[in-house]
């Protein structure tokens, strides 16, 4: 009986945690720009390679996580046509265009018209920036 109660408790907890996890954003990168202060290297990303470089953000129990980057906890900041998710450990951020305001954001520049998000990673003093589309 004791084993049954423990098993039931574990299943309830697992189901609760699973039910509270939702994908907030999933994007595929198109362009990668590597910068290091002395060089800047832009490159187009093939569709095959983009699948391995997806940007994924999940919401679990009211908190946001950069699922595609070791589940780093994120702080969400909403401002009109954009939502920005900043890594609490300082490792980078993701900014996405609100899909409902894509047409308005597209009037800002060619960048907002062409891309749905930017993902910026900081590695020491170097950075990697991905521009991509919502999946």
43 located within any domain: yes
- Grade residue 20 by pLDDT with cuts at 50, 70 and 90: confident
- Separation CA 28–CA 65 (nearest Å): 17
- Grade residue 18 by pLDDT with cuts at 50, 70 and 90: low
80 located within any domain: yes
- Separation CA 135–CA 25 (nearest Å): 8
Domain count, the chain: 1
The residues facing 129 across adjacent strands are 33, 120
The answer, yes or no, to whether residue 73 has pLDDT greater than 60, is yes
pLDDT tens-digit readout, 38-72: 999 999 999 999 999 999 999 999 999 999 999 99
12 located within any domain: no
Q: Where are the beta strands (DSSP E) in the chain?
A: 21-35, 40-44, 55-60, 63-66, 72-79, 82-87, 92-97, 117-123, 126-134
17 located within any domain: no
3 located within any domain: no
62 located within any domain: yes
pLDDT tens-digit readout, 98-112: 999 899 999 999 999
Per-residue pLDDT at 16: 52
The residue segments making up the domain with residue 106 are 22-134
What 43-52 contacts at long range (C-beta under 8 Å, 24+ apart), as own/partner pairs, is 45/130, 50/132
Q: For the whole prediction, is pTM greater than 0.85?
A: no
15 located within any domain: no
10 located within any domain: no
């Amino acid at each position: 009986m004791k084993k049954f109660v423990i098993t039931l408790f574990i299943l309830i907890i697992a189901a609760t945690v699973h039910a509270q996890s939702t994908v907030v954003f999933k994007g595929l990168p198109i362009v990668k720009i590597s910068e290091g202060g002395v060089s800047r290297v832009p490159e187009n990303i093939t569709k095959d390679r983009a699948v391995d470089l997806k940007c994924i953000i999940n919401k679990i129990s009211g908190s946001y996580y950069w699922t595609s980057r070791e589940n780093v906890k994120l702080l969400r900041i909403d401002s009109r046509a954009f939502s920005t998710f900043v890594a609490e450990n300082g490792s980078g951020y993701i900014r996405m265009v609100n899909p409902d305001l894509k047409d308005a954001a597209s009037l800002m520049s060619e960048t907002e018209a062409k891309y749905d998000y930017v993902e910026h990673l900081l590695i020491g003093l170097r950075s990697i920036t991905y521009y991509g589309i919502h999946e």
